[in-house]
Amino acid sequence: MSDDKHKLYRECPVHIDTIIANLVAQQARLSDRIDRCWDDPAQLVRLLPLYGQNTTRLSRFLRDRCDFYGNPDDETLASESDPDPGSLPIQIDDLIADLAAKQTRLSQHLDRCWQNPDAEHLDRLLAIYSQNATRLGRLLHDRYAIYGPPPNPFSVVIDQALDRLSEEWGIEL
């Protein structure tokens, strides 16, 4: 990063890392509240959409951060003056896992609700389930934008086999 860019970064009144850290803290509090209210459908109807929205916003911030400073795996980030990608309180895979866990729990809750068609807020909970499934798709899209396509599993196996063979034979490929 050039000196001019460093100066602009230091002078910026708000840094994306601060925004991410604050939103992560609020999201954790919201998650705890949701975990305590699974028996109250009215609370779930209010809180789960907000949780999904905040998750996708966090994902977007992580993606924007990558656009600003480069890929977290990029060795050019090793400069002392660039933000440290490891200093973030959350990574995109954490967001995906957390929202997927909430989806699984909501799915189980919906399965119980289907046994009683008169269950309160069933239609709204189903709509929230669908919305958050779409949000998971967005998170995966953001993950792809940050890290690129997943490695081909066959290429990974072949590379691992070649690495082992080169170690056993004492040659470098």
Task: Give me the DSSP letters along 89-142.
Answer: S--HHHHHHHHHHHHHHHHHHHHHHHTSTT-TTHHHHHHHHHHHHHHHHHHHHH
Per-residue pLDDT of 108-154, as tens digits, reads 999 988 888 777 888 899 999 999 999 999 999 999 999 988 888 88
The maximal CA–CA distance of the chain, rounded, in angstroms, is: 69
pLDDT at position 63 is 93
Q: What is the mean pLDDT of residues 36-40?
A: 91
Q: How far apart are CA 48 and CA 126, in angstroms?
A: 11
pLDDT at position 119 is 79
pLDDT at position 78 is 39
pLDDT at position 24 is 96
pLDDT at position 120 is 81
Per-residue pLDDT of 54-94, as tens digits, reads 999 999 999 999 988 877 655 444 344 455 555 788 899 99
Q: Helix (H, G, I), strand (E, B), or coil: what is residue 22?
A: helix
Measured between its terminal Cα atoms, the distance across the chain in Å is 34
Measured at the CA of 99, the angle between CA 97 and CA 101, to 5 degrees, comes to 65
The better pLDDT of the pair 172, 116 is held by: 116
Q: How far apart are CA 72 and CA 81, in angstroms?
A: 15
Q: What is the mean pLDDT of residues 162-171?
A: 86
The total of other beta-carbon atoms located within 10 Å of residue 125's CB is: 19
Q: How far apart are CA 85 and CA 71, in angstroms?
A: 9
pLDDT at position 88 is 80
Residue spans per domain, the chain:
3-169
| pTM as predicted | 0.74
